[in-house]
Structure 1
Amino acid sequence: MLVLSLEAARLYRNGKLGSAPCNGATVTGLLTAINCYNVKWVTRVQDTFTLTKILALLVTFFASLWYLYNGHTENLEDMMQGTTKSPENIAVAFYSGLFSYSGWNYLNFVTEELKDPYRNLPRAICISMPVVTVVYTLTNFAYFVVLTNTEILSSLAVAVTFSEKILGFMAWIMPLFVACSTFGSLNGAIYASSRLFFVGARSGHLPSAISLIDVKRLTPVPSLIFMCLVTLLLLLPNNVESLLVCVTFVESVFILSSITGLLWMRYTRPRAHRPIKVNIMLPIIFFVICTFLVIFPCFSHPLEVGIGIAFIALGVPTYYVFIVWQNKPSWLIFACDSFNMMCAKLFLCLPEDSKEL
C-alpha cells in the first residue's frame, strides 16, 4: 500500500497533468476498477504502457547521442562533482535506484497465475533484469550528457527538464511519457500487491473478507478495494521523498527478514527439496546489502524510518487480536463474521474453494 501511494504521488508530481493532488487518487481509483473488472484488461494496459516507457527511454538515449555528436561534452567532465561518500546518503540513494527495479519482487506475488512457473519465473527474471539494467543505465548516461548537476538536483522530473532542453517543440511528449510510465507502474503494483493480500487472507493472516473472489469475474475485489482505500489515505501527505524512504525501508526490512530465513534454512536443512536454487553467495551478498540499507538510513532520515517502524509495529497487535487470539468474546466474533458477510454480499464474492465459482 505504501508502494501504491508512492506511485500515485509520483503521477501527480512528475506527470504534470494538473494542479491538484487528486490526480493520483483518481488514477488509483480508475486502475482499481479495471483490476476489479477484467484481468485481461489489466494485462493489456500493462503491455501498452510498458512499451510506452521503453519508447520514452529510447527517445531519451538517442536524443542524447545526437546532442553528444554535436560536440556537447562539457557536462561529462564534472558529472561526479559534489558526490557524497557518507554511508547514510549512499543508502538513501540506493532507495531511489532500487525502487526503479522493484518489479522483480512483484513477479513472485503472481506465481499462481503463471504457466509453468518453475521454468518461466527464473526465465522472466533472468531476461528482464539485464534488459532493464542496460536501458536504465543508458538513460542515466543520457541525462548526464544533456543536463548539469545543478539542473538534475533541482528538477522535480528529470525527464521533463531533459525534454525542455533538447527536444524543442516536441518537449510536450516527455511529460506524457512520464505520466504513462507511472500509470503502467501503478497498474502493475495494484495487480501484484492485491494477490499478496489475497493469499495472506486465504492463509488466515488477514480478515477472511479479503480472500473472497468475485463470482463472475474471478478477481479479488475485496482485496483490491481494501488496498485502494488505504492507499488513498496514505496519499494525503503527498511527499514523494518521504514516501520513497518509508516505502523502501519497510520493504528492505521484510526482504532482510526473508533472506535471513532463507540462509537459516539453507544451513539447517541443506538437503531439502528446492525447485529453484541459486548459488549460496547470491543470498549472502543480498543479505549484506539489505543490512546496509536498513541500518544507515536510520541516521539520515529518522522520522521516515520511525513512521515505517510504527507501520510495521501496528500490525503486531492487530495480528494477535484478530488472528492468534482464539478465545475471542462473542461480540468480536459476531462483528468479524458480520463484516465478512457484508463484504460477500456487497461485492458478490465467495471463498476461492466454493463450488459456486
Structure 2
Amino acid sequence: MGIKDPSSTSAIEKMDNDSGKIHLKQELGLISAVSMIAGTMIGSGIFMSPQWVLYYMGSPGASLLIWAACGLLAMLGALSYAELGTVIKESGGEYIYILRNVGPLPAFLLVYSSVIVVRPASIAVVSLSFAEYVVAAFFSDCSSPQVVLKCTAVTCVLVLGIINCLNVRLAMSIMNFFTAAKLIVLVVIIVGGVVLLVKGNTQVLQNAFENTAVGFGPVGVAFYQGLWSYDGWNNLNYMTEELKNPEVNLPRAVMIAIPLVTCIYLLANISYFAAMTPQELLTSDAVAISWGLKVLGTWTWIISLGVALSTFGSANGTLFSGGRVCYKAAMEGHLPDALSMIHVKRLTPSPALIFTCIMSIIMIIPGDFSSIVNFFSFTAWLFYGTTIAGLIYMKIKKPDIPRPYKVPIIIPVIVLIASVYLVLAPVIDSPQMAYLYVVLFILSGVIIYIPVIHYKWSPGWFHSITLHLQLLLQVAPTDKND
C-alpha cells in the first residue's frame, strides 16, 4: 500500500467504512501529470545554479550548452523510466525498479542512502535557497550572515513539517499555489530578458565561448549543478499506481513537460546574461535578485518575494515526496515499522515526515549550497545508473515481457554511460576523501541489511519503542497487503 506523491490531488483518498483500510484512486490525468513533472523540476535551481554552472564552465556559451545538455539527458532518462513505469506498474520509482530487477540488497542500499542523505540533502538545499532570498532583502548592502541563513532554513523545514503532518490537502494546496508563483516569476524574468535583447544588450553573447573551461572534471561538476535544476524528471514514477492510463499518459507527460522546462531554463539564463556580466553573475549570492536590481529597480521586491514563494513551495513538495519514499520502504520491510504508520485521525505518514525533517535539519547545519548539490548528485546518479542498468537487463534477457511503451535500447545505454561519467568524472579529476566516505557510507548499509533485513533480527526493546511512538504520535499500522 502506498501514499500519493506530492502532485496527487489528495494523498489519501478515504478510509473504507467497512474494512478500515486506506484506499487510493487513479485520478492523475495527463494535465495533472505534466503539471507534476514541471512543477517539481522548477524549484530553486534555476535561481541558484546559473552562477555555479558559469563558474565551472567559464563562459556564457558553454553554460547554455550545459543547460541544454542537462535537459536532453533528463529527457532520455525520463523516457527510459517511462518504459519501466509501464512494465512495472508500481509506485516507488528507483526503489521499486531496483527491488524488482536487481534485488533487495541494492534496493535497501538505495533507500538507506535516500532517507538518511539524498532526500534530506535535497530538502536542505531548497531550504537554504529559500533562506538566501528571504534574508537578502534585509542585508542588501552586505553578505547575509550564515547563522541567520541556516536558522531561516531550519524554520522553513519545521513549518513545512508541521503543515504536512497536520493535513495532506493543505500541503497540496500550498504546493499548487507556489507552483503558480514560480511560473509567474520566470515569465517576468524571460520577458525582461527579451526586452533587453531587443534594446541591444547582446554584448555578453557576442563572445559567448571566451574563457571556456575544458576538462573531464569541470564539465561533470557543471552537469551536477545544472541537473540539480532538472531534478524531478522521474517524480511521476513514484506514483504510477495513481496515474490514469499510465501506458499512455506517462510517456506523453514526459514528452510535454521536460522540453517545456528546458526552454524556460534556457530563456531564463539568456535573460540573466543579457542583464549582467559574467563577473556580476559569479559574485551574486541571489542571481534573480541581482537581475531584478538591474532590470526592475525598485520593483525588485516582486522577484525576491516570488522566488521565496517558489523555493518554499519546492521545499514543500520535496519534503512531501521524501516522506513518502521513507513510508514506502518501511511498508516493504526495509525500514522500521514505525515509519510505515499513519496518524489515525489526520491520515498522514507523520513518523516518516518527522524523521525526514530531522535528517534535513542535520544536513542544513554544516552544509553549503554547492557542496550539498555535489553530494546529492553523486549519490543520486549512482542509483539512477543502477536503475537504467536494470532496464537494459530486462530488454536483453526478457524481451517477451509486454511493453505498452518501448524506447530504443540506445537511449538507456546513453543514460547509463552518462550516469557512469557523472559518478566518476569529479572523482578522477579531483579526488577527495569525501567521495570515498560516500561510497563507504552506502556500503555500510550491508552491515545493517544482513542481520536486520535478511535474518529479520529485532531486539525486544525495539518493539517497545515502536509501541511508545504509536501512543505518542497517535499513529497506527496500515495493511501491508492492501
Q: TM over 0.5: same fold?
A: yes
Q: Does 1:336 align with 2:462?
A: yes
Instruction: Give the stretch that moved more between structures: 205-214 or 270-279.
Output: 270-279
Instruction: Give the stretch that moved more between structures: 216-225 or 77-86.
Output: 77-86
Q: 1:325 maps to what in 2? A: 455
In the superposition, relative to structure 1, how do residues 116 and 341 fare at CA in structure 2: closer, same or farther (>3 Å)?
A: farther
Q: Distance in 1 between matches of 2:424 and 2:474?
A: 45
Q: 1:16 maps to what in 2? A: 135
Q: Distance in 2 between matches of 1:125 and 1:263?
A: 20
Q: 1:230 maps to what in 2? A: 359
Q: Is the 8 A contact 2:323 2:353 kept in 1?
A: yes
Instruction: Give the stretch that moved more between structures: 269-278 or 176-185.
Output: 269-278
In the superposition, relative to structure 1, how do residues 250 and 165 fare at CA in structure 2: closer, same or farther (>3 Å)?
A: same
SS of aligned partner of 2:342: strand
Instruction: Give the stretch that moved more between structures: 267-276 or 226-235.
Output: 267-276
Q: Among 369, 387, 391, which residue is 1:262 paired with?
A: 391
Q: 1:309 maps to what in 2? A: 439
Among all aligned residue pairs of Structure 1 and Structure 2, give the percentage whose two residues are the same amino acid: 35
Q: Among 336, 352, 357, which residue is 2:478 paired with?
A: 352
Q: Is the 8 A contact 1:106 1:193 kept in 2?
A: no
In the superposition, relative to structure 1, how do residues 149 and 58 fare at CA in structure 2: closer, same or farther (>3 Å)?
A: same
In the superposition, relative to structure 1, how do residues 258 and 308 fare at CA in structure 2: closer, same or farther (>3 Å)?
A: same
User: What do the CA deviations read for 1:6-47 (whole angstroms, capped 9, x no partner)?
Assistant: 212222234435651111111111111111122211221111
In the superposition, relative to structure 1, how do residues 155 and 125 fare at CA in structure 2: closer, same or farther (>3 Å)?
A: same
Q: 1:3 maps to what in 2? A: 122
Equivalent residues in 2 for 1:156-235 (5 A)?
Answer: 156-235=285-364
Q: Distance in 1 between matches of 2:246 and 2:478?
A: 21
* Amino acid in the other structure paired with 2:220: A
Q: 1:110 maps to what in 2? A: 239
Equivalent residues in 2 for 1:271-310 (5 A)?
Answer: 271-298=400-427, 299-300=429-430, 302-310=432-440
Q: Distance in 2 between matches of 1:115 and 1:218?
A: 23
Instruction: Give the stretch that moved more between structures: 250-259 or 309-318.
Output: 309-318
User: What do the CA deviations read for 1:100-143 (whole angstroms, capped 9, x no partner)?
Assistant: 11112232223344444444333332221111111111101111
Q: Distance in 1 between matches of 2:264 and 2:391?
A: 31
Q: Is the 8 A contact 1:214 1:221 kept in 2?
A: yes
Q: Distance in 1 between matches of 2:152 and 2:444?
A: 29
Q: Is the 8 A contact 1:52 1:177 kept in 2?
A: yes
Instruction: Give the stretch that moved more between structures: 19-28 or 64-73.
Output: 64-73
SS of aligned partner of 1:184: helix
* Amino acid in the other structure paired with 2:380: E
TM-score computed with the length of structure 1 as normaliser? 0.92
Q: Distance in 1 between matches of 2:247 and 2:424?
A: 34
In the superposition, relative to structure 1, how do residues 286 and 52 fare at CA in structure 2: closer, same or farther (>3 Å)?
A: same
* Amino acid in the other structure paired with 1:263: I
Q: Is the 8 A contact 1:79 1:149 kept in 2?
A: no
Q: Is the 8 A contact 1:110 1:192 kept in 2?
A: no
In the superposition, relative to structure 1, how do residues 10 and 85 fare at CA in structure 2: closer, same or farther (>3 Å)?
A: same
Q: Is the 8 A contact 1:245 1:305 kept in 2?
A: no
Equivalent residues in 2 for 1:74-113 (5 A)?
Answer: 74-113=203-242
Q: Is the 8 A contact 2:342 2:351 kept in 1?
A: yes
Equivalent residues in 2 for 1:148-163 (5 A)?
Answer: 148-163=277-292
Q: Does 1:142 align with 2:291?
A: no
1:49 Cα offset (Å): 0.9
Aligned length in residues: 352
In the superposition, relative to structure 1, how do residues 309 and 108 fare at CA in structure 2: closer, same or farther (>3 Å)?
A: same
Q: Is the 8 A contact 2:331 2:480 kept in 1?
A: no
In the superposition, relative to structure 1, how do residues 35 and 275 fare at CA in structure 2: closer, same or farther (>3 Å)?
A: farther
- What is the CA RMSD across the aligned residues, in angstroms? 2.1
Q: Distance in 1 between matches of 2:461 and 2:260?
A: 50
SS of aligned partner of 2:476: strand
* Amino acid in the other structure paired with 1:340: T
In the superposition, relative to structure 1, how do residues 33 and 113 fare at CA in structure 2: closer, same or farther (>3 Å)?
A: farther
In the superposition, relative to structure 1, how do residues 237 and 144 fare at CA in structure 2: closer, same or farther (>3 Å)?
A: same
SS of aligned partner of 1:104: coil
SS of aligned partner of 1:352: coil
Q: Among 11, 16, 28, which residue is 2:157 paired with?
A: 28
Equivalent residues in 2 for 1:120-135 (5 A)?
Answer: 120-135=249-264
1:277 Cα offset (Å): 3.2
* Amino acid in the other structure paired with 1:24: A
Q: Distance in 2 between matches of 1:348 and 1:166?
A: 52
Q: Is the 8 A contact 2:292 2:303 kept in 1?
A: yes
SS of aligned partner of 1:171: helix
SS of aligned partner of 2:279: helix
Q: Is the 8 A contact 1:99 1:248 kept in 2?
A: yes
Q: Distance in 2 between matches of 1:80 and 1:334?
A: 64
1:265 Cα offset (Å): 1.9
1:230 Cα offset (Å): 0.9
* Amino acid in the other structure paired with 1:160: I
SS of aligned partner of 1:238: coil
SS of aligned partner of 2:335: coil
Q: Distance in 1 between matches of 2:258 and 2:394?
A: 26
Q: Distance in 2 between matches of 1:246 and 1:294?
A: 10
User: What do the CA deviations read for 1:268-321 (whole angstroms, capped 9, x no partner)?
Assistant: 111123454322222111111111101101133624423432432332322233
TM-score computed with the length of structure 2 as normaliser? 0.69
1:252 Cα offset (Å): 0.5
